[in-house]
Structure 1
Amino acid sequence: MNTADYAARFREIRDKVESQERLTLDDGIFLYDPKVPLQEVGELANLVRERMNGNVGYFNINTHLNPTNVCVYRCRFCAFRSDLRDPKGYAMNDEQILARGQEATENGCTEMHIVGGLHHQKPYEWYRHIIELLTEHYPKIHLKGWTAVEINWFEFQTKKTIEWVLKDLQAAGLGSMPGGGAEIFHPEVRDQLCEHKANTHAWLEIHRTAHEIGLRTNCTMLYGHVENAFHRIDHLLRLRELQDRTGGFQVFIPLAFHPENTKLSHIKKPSALMDLRTMAVSRLMLDNVQHIKAYWIMLGIETAQTALAYGADDIDGTVRHELIYHDAGATTPQFLTVDKIKDLISEAGREPIERDTVYRRIERDENDFTNWRSGESVDALAVS
Structure 2
Amino acid sequence: MDMNWYDSLGLADVARKVADGERLSMEDGERLFACPDVTAVGALAHHVRTRLHGDKTYYVVNRQINYTNICVNGCLFCAYGRERGQQGAFLLSQDEILAKAREGIPPAEIHAVGGCHPETPLSFYEEMLRELGKALPEAELKCFTLVEIAHFAHLEGCSTREVLLRLKDAGLVMMPGGGAEIFSPEIRTRICPKKITGEEWLRIAGEAHEVGIPTNCTMLYGHIESTRHRLEHLDELRRQQDKSHGFVCFVPLSFQARNNLLGVEHGPTGVDDLKTIAISRLMLDNIPHLKAYWIMLGTKLAQTALWFGADDLDGTIVEEKIGHMAGADSAASLSREELNEMIRGAGFTPVERSARFSERGENAAAKEVA
Q: Above 0.5 in TM-score? A: yes
Question: What corresponds to 1:336 in structure 2?
Answer: 334
Cα deviations by residue, 1:305-343 (Å, 9 ceiling, x for unpaired): 000000001111011110000000001000011111111
Q: Equivalents in 2 of 1:293, 1:265: separation in Å?
A: 27
Question: Paired residue for 1:58?
Answer: 58
Q: In structure 2, what is the Cα distance between the partners aligned to 1:317 and 1:308?
A: 15
Unaligned 5+ runs, structure 2: none
Match of 1:14 in 2: 15
Aligned pair count reads 366
Q: Does 1:47 align with 2:43?
A: no
8 A Cα contact 1:64 1:319, kept in partner = yes
Contact 1:79 1:327 in 2 (8 A): yes
Matched residues in 2 for 1:13 and 1:375: separation?
A: 37
Question: What amino acid is aligned across from residue 181 of structure 2 in structure 1?
Answer: E
Q: Whole-Å Cα distance in 2 between the matches of residues 287 and 272 of structure 1?
A: 24
The offset of 1:121, in angstroms, is: 2.4
* Residue type of the alignment partner of 1:300: G
Q: Give the distance between the partners of 1:225 and 1:74, measured in 2 at CA.
A: 17
The residue number in structure 2 matching 1:368 is: none
Q: Provide the residue aligned with 2:357 in structure 1.
A: 359
The answer to whether the 8 A contact 2:69-2:91 is kept is yes
Structure 1 residue 127: deviation in Å? 2.3
Q: Displacement of 1:116 after TM fit?
A: 0.4
Q: 1:21 Cα deviation (Å)? A: 1.0
Query: In structure 1, what is the equivalent of residue 93 of structure 2?
Result: 93
Q: Distance in 2 between matches of 1:219 and 1:354?
A: 21
Give the 5 Å matches for 1:189-338.
189-338=187-336
Tell me, yes or no, if the aligned pair for 2:65 and 2:101 is still in contact at 8 Å.
Answer: no
Letter in 2 for 1:72: V
1:140 Cα offset (Å): 1.8
- 1:9: Cα distance to partner? 3.1
User: Tell me, what secondary structure is at the counterpart of 1:361?
Assistant: coil
Match in the other structure for 1:32: 33
Task: Kindly provide the CA deviation profile for residues 143-185 of structure 1, in whole angstroms up to 9, marking residues without a partner as x.
Answer: 1111010001011112212211101000111110000000000
The alpha-carbon distance between structure 1 residues 357 and 376, as it changes in their structure 2 partners (threshold 3 A), is: farther
**Mapped partners of 2:57, 2:261: distance in 1:** 36
SS in 2 for 1:233: helix
Residues 90-123 of structure 1: per-residue CA shift (max 9 Å, x gap): 11112211111222xx513111111001111212
With the length of structure 2 as denominator, give the TM-score of the two structures.
Answer: 0.95
* Contact 1:148–1:198 (CA under 8 A) maintained in structure 2: no
Alignment RMSD:
2.0
Aligned match of 2:70: 70
Q: 2:149 aligned with 1:146, yes or no?
A: no
Give the drift of 1:74: 0.6
Mapped contact 1:236–1:286 kept (Cα < 8 A):
yes
Q: In the alignment, residue 165 of structure 2 is paired with which amino acid?
A: K
Letter in 1 for 2:266: K
Q: TM-score, normalised by structure 1?
A: 0.92
Q: Alignment partner of 2:18: what SS?
A: helix
Q: Which amino acid aligns with 1:272?
A: G
Q: In the alignment, which of 95, 106, 111 is matched to residue 108 of structure 1?
A: 106
Q: CA deviation at 1:6?
A: 7.7
Q: Deviations over 1:43-101 (max 9, x none)?
A: 01000000011111111111111111111111000000011111200111122111112
**Residues 222/377 of structure 1: CA separation in 2 closer, same or farther (3 Å cut):** farther
- The amino acid that maps onto 1:32 is F
Distance 2:195 2:189 in 1: 9
The residue that corresponds to 1:81 in the other structure is 81
Q: Counterpart of 2:180 in structure 1: which amino acid?
A: A
Task: Say if 2:6 and 2:12, in contact at 8 Å, map to a contact too.
Answer: no
Structure 1: stretches of 5+ with no match in the other structure: 365-373
